[in-house]
Amino acid sequence: MNFATPLFLFFFLLIFGLRWILPRLKFLPEWAPKPFLLAGSYFFYMAWNPKFGLLLFGTTILDYWIGRKMDQKEGRSRAILLSISLVLNLSVLAFFKYFIFFMQSGNAVFSAFGLNLSLPVWRIVLPVGISFYTFQSLSYTIDVFRREILPEKNFWNYALFLSFFPQLVAGPIVPAKTFLPQLKTWVTWKELPLREGLVLVLIGVWKKVVIADQLSILPDSFYRSPLEFSSAYAWAAVFAYSLQIYCDFSGYTDIALGSALLLGFRLTENFRMPYLASGFSDFWRRWHISLSSWLRNYLYIPLGGNRKSEPRTYINLFLTMLLGGLWHGASWNFVVWGGFHGIFLGLERLGKKFWPGSFSPENKSGILGRFSYRIFVILAVVLCWVFFRSPNWKTTGIVFEKLFGFSSGADPALSSLRILFIAFFLFFAATWIGNRDEKYGSFRKFYEGLHPVLFGILVGVGLLLGAVFSSESQPFIYFVF
């Protein structure tokens, strides 16, 4: 997937240039730039594997047709149409993403009972971004069914909504109600938030190439052969991965959001300083916001949310997080990761019921308790990443033995520790700036107030320094989901 970065840059520059040129050609209609953006998005996606462009186009045709048909039907017919969308989309996703997982799990179950049945296990290539665009397309048909939005009448607008290349392969999952209205009017060049977009791209590049790729050395070495390393190395690797996955994924999101802004579109926020979370529910309001919002709106609430009995609420929470874990990948490690988060969310809800106000940031009487709970939450989140990163159950077991067994082995090199400490420093500094900017907007005021020439020089120097301090290029972690 290393091809994606230069290809992304090429298409962004091409379409950004067209975005600037085409509106100035007076003989072209207002919608003229959209076909270039659509064609570029499909070419970008099909450069990886042309066959899967047909799969994306098939999903587009299906749900566009479903939406239009729903507009003509009432009652049970609408429910049948929604069921067709759900069954076909989820069946395609299940086949490509989970077929091997289900077959291998079935063979393991049969073997455990002494049955020598061998279910077929085929080698299936996972289409990049299928989890993201499937959920995005389902958000459209569900919202049309609920009459929260009107069906999109322009097929090519819907095709662009589903294939928009900045967020196509790794999100964020943009609801139809957020993106489709932006296609009704083409933002003029003067209205583009150029500075905000460039700053987001710059921040995303630094998160990815300066922090995440540098940090990858520790967890990659450790998880490859954990028995060779000491407990100190294990803890360093686990904390390094917790920073790596955040900087890697949020870095991609920042680049996607910034690129979209420069093309005239505002996507949904996906991260909001998650490691400042005051609890597990707060963490999921800050981490992968587009997925957690999708799970809440289209899974947790339809299951009954907290409108049913108290036991049913806990079951709904657990099932939602369990399926959220499975969404990330075809592995029991992901299921367990999601299950633990479901358990933590349930226990936190139970605690708030019996000790109301104890978990509230406004409660000034329990500052030490709230601080201790925050530390516990972040430590639990960090340890849960072990399930997310481990390639198999055996490795997971060894990692936890290393973490809590205080065993000997190779200690982290001074250079690796230096990278980890620098990354922590950059992370805390960026979090402080981000937290301050969220409250007072001081960072935004700073770069918005700069002279255009000075702003351009600073952005250029920032990108140059990012290239200088970058490590060997690593694939984006969420490209495999």
Which residues are annotated as catalytic? Answer: 328
What is the spatial distance between Cα 208 and Cα 480, in angstroms, rounded to a whole number?
16
Tokens of 142: 């569900």
- Amino acid symbol at 144: V
**DSSP H helical segments within 189-300, as ranges?**
194-205, 213-215, 217-224, 231-262, 280-284, 289-295
What is the spatial distance between Cα 361 and Cα 27, in angstroms, rounded to a whole number?
58
Helix or strand or coil: residue 410?
strand
In 3D space, the residue among 36, 426, 472, 475 whose CA is nearest the CA of residue 214 turns out to be 472
Tokens of 415: 């250079």
What is the spatial distance between Cα 377 and Cα 284, in angstroms, rounded to a whole number?
12
Helix or strand or coil: residue 229?
strand
Distances (CA, A) of 350 to 345, 346, 367, 408: 9, 6, 20, 40
The radius of gyration of the chain's CA atoms, rounded to the nearest angstrom, is 24
**How many beta carbons lie within 10 A of that of residue 433, not counting itself?**
14
**Residues 166, 139 contacting (CB under 8 angstroms):** no
What is the spatial distance between Cα 301 and Cα 298, in angstroms, rounded to a whole number?
6
Q: Give residue 74's Cα distance to chain centre.
A: 35
Q: Give the contacts of 405 (CB within 8 A, at least 6 positions apart).
A: 231
Tokens of 390: 């481990």
What is the spatial distance between Cα 405 and Cα 462, in angstroms, rounded to a whole number?
43
DSSP state of 186: P
Beta bridge partners of residue 410, listed in sequence order: 229
Q: What are phi and psi of 229, to 5 degrees?
A: -115, 160
In 3D space, the residue among 295, 36, 82, 63 whose CA is nearest the CA of residue 162 turns out to be 63
What is the spatial distance between Cα 280 and Cα 293, in angstroms, rounded to a whole number?
15
In 3D space, the residue among 279, 272, 287, 292 whose CA is nearest the CA of residue 431 turns out to be 272
The conformational region for residue 397 under phi > 0 = left, psi -120 to 50 = alpha, else beta, is alpha
**Terminal CA-to-CA distance of the chain, rounded, Å?**
13
What is the spatial distance between Cα 253 and Cα 257, in angstroms, rounded to a whole number?
6
